Chain A
Amino acid sequence: MISISHLRKAYGDTVAVDDVSLEVAAGEVMGILGPNGAGKTTTVECVAGLRVPDSGTVRVAGLDPRTDRPELTRVLGVQLQESRLQPKITVAEAMRLWSALYADPVPWAGLVERLGLEDQAGSRFRDLSGGQQQRLSIALALVGRPRVVILDELSTGLDPRARREVWQVVRDLRADGVTVLLVTHAMEEAQQLCDRIAIIDHGRVRALDTPDGLISEASAATVTSFTAEEPVDLESLRALASVSSVRTDAGRVVVEGRDGAALEVLERLARQQVTPHGLRVVDGTLDTAYLQLTDTREETPA
């Protein structure tokens, strides 16, 4: 549904996007993660037709964002980062205006309700909180029944409750078969919502996999933690091949390692006659995977 091939975009001497290729299947929720200045926003702006790539090609539903703008705007909904509306326009007026721009708009009252803005229908844009402005912006991106949606910094500035509501909206989009390109900083958000995640750094795709795939690739796929009354020989745990790090954290011993590290740790503890208490074995988080991929980029083939 979205096809990006060898995209490159520089602003003067600064290369924002070096070489990004990405295929997003129809109905897929693709997350784009990466540090600030990694080229995430420039990439999606090229997809939205707001910027002209220096080289490479972009296709959205077979359309070229540069030359097929009228057709593109009918299939693509865009929520931009830091985009504001007319200061004195009300929520209802904005929704009504945007509805009139599309041939078959979603009934906007329902959309406003799903985003928790029904009490603000008569409020002017400048009087809305940052989170409310953000939710209105999302509603506007969806009102035209897009087949593809770009959401840039979806939940920035939202309180936890509003964030859940917005996440549900993305899940509903997915259930409806809409293709979503989700730019985010929030690992939890990416992990919860995305079918696949592309980690972008320095204008290149560093990794592209499912959230689980990214986590299990990382050296901290599982985290084993416990307390013990007996002294624990941490060095002997560190010596295990599957273990990547051992530390004590508020009295608990925390061992990070690859899949299967937990069993080896327990075996080693039994040999040391140590009885672990409050034992917990959990999946590693995307955070660790992300930090590894964006830190050690020289070792990661693009």
Chain B
Amino acid sequence: MMKGLGAPEGYGIGRVMLISEKNLSYTPREIADVDAELERFRTAVKKFTEETLAQAQTVRETVGEKEAKILEGHISIIDDDFMRGEIENLISAHQCAESAVEQMCQMFIDMFMASGDELTMQRAADVRDVRDSMLAILLGVNEVKISDAPAGTVLVVRELTPSMTAGIKRDNIVGIITETGSQTSHSAILARAMEIPAVLSVPNALAQLSTGEQVIVDGFTGDVVTAPAQEVIDEYTSKRDTYLREKRELELYRGKPTVSASGEHYELCCNIGSPKDASKAMEKDGEGVGLFRTEFLFMDRSSLPTEDEQFDAYKTAAMVLKGKPLIIRTLDIGGDKEIPYLGLEKEENPFMGFRAIRYCLKNRDMFKSQIKAILRASAFGDVRIMFPLITAVEELREGRALVEEAKSDLRASGIEFNEDIPVGVMTETSASGVIADLLAKEADFFSIGTNDLTGYTMACDRGNSNVGYLYSPFQPSVLRLIKSIIENGVKAGIPVGMCGEAAANPMMIPLLMSFGLTEFSVSAVSVLKVRKNIAKWTKAEADEVAAKVMAMSTEKEITDYLKTVV
């Protein structure tokens, strides 16, 4: 077995076809007849343009518009006044066309690689693709015909290039193995666009595999199973069929509103930990962000992030969301997380200690700079502020007072922000659940954090194997708190969301629908599954299940019953 990075998900079972590197070596020579060499170069550009246009057309029909545009962009790299001018200058100085093309391409490849920016570095792959195609034309090296691959082929390549995709017939290629590329490389993006399961970055794949041998590609684990036994093939075949069937069913929910079988609408958002995740949330059809954790800005560094740094991150996320809601949770930090420069003392009992809103309210300068950064970002989208770990009304009041202070600072400096930015509470402590009616009068929204709510309510650490059995959001105590938080929010007319893991649990969904939850916030990969689960229930059915559950006395009774209804 060989190992790499899986992307995209899925299983491919087939026979190997090796696509070896073309031999593009040449000996640079001094050119005597400059005009003839210029003509040779121009003819090559013309041929490259024609071939690439034809490839782009194929890709447009078989893969998609975006991928076709990538290929058309390749033409503009070489067929460009500046680039042609520079290459022709080199040829006029008696360099051969091959080395002139290579020199100019290499210059940009080096510049892109030196940027240190991941996206820019990946664009070097486009320039390499152009360079190789141009050299192949100049040297008269024929392309390997990927389009001749028979049905059930697993392609093995060093790198999957945009020009290669033109030859891929989706019905024939069941898997791809590459030697290079991260999960955000061209190889990964192209494989994903074609929905062909792939394993990337398998060292020496070309040398280790032979054309015609049977192989299994597992795009979930990144495994490449070589010489599989019949029972392994059978196992993967059934896994693949189930996966494809479920995927087809889920895809029906893409782009659809989140609505119950009886017509009630819900918001279905994502939990994210960085601006990059925001794009993923959109890609996975999230309707907004219900929880943006801001800790990433503070971790792995030696000093506090500046207001501007934070603003950049929040604004980027807001812009990616294009007006969809973005709930930013203020710093949730404490004695259990190592951030040396904050100078937090080791505590006996960090989860009951100096953390989250408690720490922030005592470090007002730091807190105010985060609030100002969030406020500034609110000029660029539907941004909302959420305070973590609220246990008493005063904490919310103090936090809101600081928001008002930050607003008047910004007003004085003439900086734009949303005057009516909603300020909400993350209800994740038993205290906030018990005083939900009081908090609801002063908060603009609630979001239930079930992970901490369960831990605090059951007074148990889920990681402790002696007491972990108590940790369940289906404990009657936890369910009663969830119900009370939602009902008190609804009574006060404010939206109530859930951003804990439980929001994606099929057994929890009917209960939340019945209690009156308005927003589910889940990890991006769960969006379609949750939408499908919500669509299964009518409000009346959910009410019936909830009534039964709330009359039960034990967690086991409840989960046993729920397993029978989902």
Chain B binds chain A: no
Question: Which residues of A line the B interface, CB within 8 A?
Answer: none
